Each structure stands twice: as C-alpha cells, then as structure tokens.
C-alpha cells in the first residue's frame, strides 16, 4: 500500500465527513457499492482518477486543497485539519490583486521562475529558506547576503550557474540590500529599509570621489 494511496483514502474519508455523508450515502450517490467506498478509504484498492474527481463533484467540494495535501502534506502542518482553513480567500484575493495590478514586471518574472524555473530546487523549500533567514538577526542576514553575492559572482565567472538562461538576480538591488543592512547593523538596529532603489542606482553610477 503506497503512501499516496493511504493519503487518497484519508482525503476521501475526510471530505465525506466534511460533507456530512455516510459511506452508504456516498455509495448511493455515486452508484457504487458501499464496500468499494470502504476499500477506497482504507487504501485497499486503487481509485481511478475519474472516480476520485467524481467523489468531490458529488460532495460539492473543491478537489484542489485535497489534491494539494495528497501530493504535499508538508504544506499542511496540522494534516487534514488544515484543509478546513485552506480557503483563506481574503489572503488569496490580496495576493491575486497584488500580482495582477501592483507587482512590477520583474517581481512577476522572478516569482514565476521560483515556482516553475529549471533551477533544480523545490519552491516550497526555497520559501522555507527565506523565512528562516528572515527570522535570524540582521547581522547574520548581512553575512549570508554577502556570501550569496560572492557565490553568485564566482559561479558566473567560472561558468557554473545552475541555469544560465534562466532568471538572474538584479545585483544592484541585492547589493543595495547588503549596503542597507550593513548601515543598520553599524547603528545597532535589527531592521532596515533600502529606501528608493532608484536613488541607490543613481548613486552607484556616480564616479567615486578622490
């Protein structure tokens, strides 16, 4: 019995209970035998994709959250209970509005690359790296950013970029972040704002004094 089959069975049972239906009621609605429903839920037999989708259509439940949990249970720390809170529509609408109407083209391109690019990393894992980094003191983040900058320039110089044709970081932005963090650490502050990137770029293009 595979983990997928176990989780599929658990998802069907959970969805059925959310919809307030018994195994017999679901069987009658699908025109199947109750024993088939029991075997699906226990993971004893494989369910066809068409039947799996039919279960959720019949129960009038969106299949998306359940399908996501089956493939990526790590995204749901409380297991199937998190399905009940999956549809955070206000946050979903806020994100959709941001990327539809407010996000700069660069942000959209980079977010798309994180999700779908050929970089060899897991997008969920990348997000955990970012969150873990955000939770560390600024002085530590400053050191990490400096290492990232050095690593990137070295990889580019020796031709070892993971995806040379893919999205590349805008280094002046990253260097502006490092510079801002260095100033904040020197001032014994644990947060920073890089201010206007345009101002930073303008300053970076000026000839050095002396």
Tell me: pLDDT of 112 over 60. Answer: yes
Tell me: pLDDT of 202 over 60. Answer: no
Which residues, 6+ apart, have CB-to-CB distance to 65 below 8 Å? 83, 86, 87
pLDDT of residue 210: 41
Tokens, residue 67: 């399908």
Burial annotation 147-181 (CB, 10 A radius, 16+ → b, else e)? eebeeeeeeeeeeeeeeeeeeeeeeeeebbbbbbb
Return d(Cα 110, Cα 94) in angstroms, integer.
19
Read off the pTM.
Answer: 0.60
Mean pLDDT taken over the chain: 86
Range picked from 23-37, 62-76, 125-139, 165-179 for highest mean pLDDT: 23-37
Which residues, 6+ apart, have CB-to-CB distance to 24 below 8 Å? 34
pLDDT of residue 82: 82
Long-range interactions of 183-189: CB distance < 8 A, separation 24+: 184/138, 185/138, 185/139, 185/142, 189/138
Return d(Cα 141, Cα 132) in angstroms, integer.
10
Tell me: pLDDT of 32 over 70. Answer: yes
- In order, the DSSP letters of 77-113 are TTGGGGGGG---HHHHHHHHHIIIIIS-HHHHHHHHH
Q: What is the mean pLDDT of residues 63-69?
A: 88
Contact 67, 78 (CB under 8 A): no
């Amino acid at each position: 019995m595979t983990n997928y089959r176990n989780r599929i069975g658990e998802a069907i049972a959970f969805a059925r209970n959310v919809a307030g239906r018994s195994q017999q009621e679901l069987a009658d609605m699908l025109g199947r035998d109750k024993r088939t429903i029991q075997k699906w839920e226990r993971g004893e037999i494989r369910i066809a994709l068409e039947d799996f989708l039919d279960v959720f259509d019949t129960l009038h439940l969106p299949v998306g959250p359940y399908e996501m949990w089956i493939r990526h249970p790590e995204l749901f720390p409380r297991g199937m209970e998190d399905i009940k809170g999956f549809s955070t529509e206000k946050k979903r609408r806020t994100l959709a509005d941001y990327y539809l109407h407010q996000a700069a083209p660069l942000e959209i391109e980079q977010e798309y690359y994180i999700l779908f690019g050929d970089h060899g990393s897991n997008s969920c894992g990348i997000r955990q790296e970012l969150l873990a980094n955000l939770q560390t003191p600024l002085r530590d983040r400053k050191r990490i950013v400096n290492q990232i900058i050095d690593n990137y320039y070295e990889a580019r110089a020796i031709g070892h970029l993971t995806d040379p044709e893919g999205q590349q970081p805008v280094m002046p932005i990253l260097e502006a972040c490092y510079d801002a963090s260095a100033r904040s650490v020197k001032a014994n502050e644990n947060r920073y704002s890089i201010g206007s990137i345009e101002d930073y770029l303008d300053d970076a293009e000026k000839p050095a004094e002396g």
